[in-house]
Amino acid sequence: MNTAAKSPMTILCLEFSSERRSAAIVCDGRVLAESSVIAGRTTSAPGLIAAVLKESGLTPTDVSRLAIGIGPGSYTGIRRAIATVQGWHLAHGTPVVPVGSFQTLALLAAELDPGPLWLAADAQRGEWAVAPADGARLTGELRLVRREDLAAWIVGGQRVVTPDATLTGATRLYPSAAQAALLAQELPPMDPSNLAPAYLREASFVKAPPSRWEAE
């Protein structure tokens, strides 16, 4: 009979998909620490990580799993979190688990009202990324809708939850690193080199025109 003590699952999570960027540490289903800031030029992933490690009394070597919110949401914020997680993995070899930010948001929204709703995040270019949810579950695929269509849904009585402040009539709620870390306990790790934001458009790049010197 194996009597060896089971090692605790200690998860460090970053959730940077909205303007409220957060880090959290969860150990065996218990939230030990969470720290957040409103996004700005001084937003520091290392600073948030240092804060939650200090609050929880842990060190980087105590972390047995990394989790990251992959959106949809702030492309720049998610990319910053991905770079941080990839660097940590290279240094420590810690397994990495991606968590959909809308799944996190659905669980938090269900705590307020478990009924059907639409989750939404600004996708820029006049469009919003949306997905339906009901009772803490996503019930349909992620897709893009025009801002005016989403506004019409709200006027027509549809419940919409979003972390963005610019959508009049919607319920504002931020995805949480602590909730994402709790979800990550049940999800499989993936190759960190394949991490990417949940993005509904193909990336397109336009070649810059030649400089005056090259043209000459």
Instruction: Name the phi and psi angles at 19, rounded to 5.
Output: -70, -20
Residues 90 and 122 placed together within one structural domain of the fold: no
When pLDDT is cut at 50, 70 and 90, the band that residue 4 belongs to is low
CATH of the domain at 15: 3.30.420.40
207 part of a folded domain: no
131 part of a folded domain: yes
Residues 185 and 92 placed together within one structural domain of the fold: yes
pLDDT digits (tens, 9 = 90+) for 95-116: 999 999 999 999 999 999 999 9
When pLDDT is cut at 50, 70 and 90, the band that residue 173 belongs to is very high
Q: What is the pLDDT of residue 42?
A: 60
44 DSSP assignment: -
When pLDDT is cut at 50, 70 and 90, the band that residue 206 belongs to is very low
Q: Give the residue, 131 or 5, on which the prediction is more confident.
A: 131
Residues 182 and 159 placed together within one structural domain of the fold: no
Residues 58 and 127 placed together within one structural domain of the fold: no
Indicate the number of domains in the chain: 2
Instruction: Name the phi and psi angles at 18, rounded to 5.
Output: -125, 180
Cα gap 63→92, rounded to integer Å: 9
Q: Is 108 helix (H, G, I), strand (E, B) or coil?
A: helix
Residues 95 and 187 placed together within one structural domain of the fold: yes
213 part of a folded domain: no
Q: What is the pLDDT of residue 188?
A: 96
Can you give the residue range of the structural domain that contains 152?
103-172
Distant-in-sequence, close-in-space partners of 179: CB < 8 Å, separation ≥ 6: 104, 107, 108
214 part of a folded domain: no
Residue 1 has pLDDT above 90, yes or no: no
187 DSSP assignment: S
Residues 110 and 94 placed together within one structural domain of the fold: no
164 part of a folded domain: yes
Instruction: Name the phi and psi angles at 26, rounded to 5.
Output: -120, 135
Residue range 186-214: mean pLDDT, rounded: 68
Residues 183 and 76 placed together within one structural domain of the fold: yes
* Pick from 164, 129, 159: nearest CA to 146: 129
Q: What is the pLDDT of residue 114?
A: 94
Q: What is the pLDDT of residue 189?
A: 97
CATH of the domain at 138: 3.30.420
Q: What is the pLDDT of residue 126?
A: 93
Residues 128 and 85 placed together within one structural domain of the fold: no
Instruction: Count CB atoms within 10 A of the CB of residue 183.
Output: 19
Residues 15 and 88 placed together within one structural domain of the fold: yes
* Pick from 192, 177, 207: nearest CA to 77: 177
206 part of a folded domain: no
Residues 107 and 167 placed together within one structural domain of the fold: yes
202 part of a folded domain: no
Residues 72 and 156 placed together within one structural domain of the fold: no
Distant-in-sequence, close-in-space partners of 58: CB < 8 Å, separation ≥ 6: 10, 25, 32
208 part of a folded domain: no
Q: Residues 78, 81, 82, CA angle at the centre, nearest 5°?
A: 85
Q: Is 35 helix (H, G, I), strand (E, B) or coil?
A: strand
Residue 213 has pLDDT above 50, yes or no: no
Q: Which residues pair with 97 in a beta bridge?
A: 67
pLDDT digits (tens, 9 = 90+) for 42-79: 668 999 999 999 999 999 999 999 999 999 999 999 99
Instruction: Name the phi and psi angles at 166, rounded to 5.
Output: -90, 0
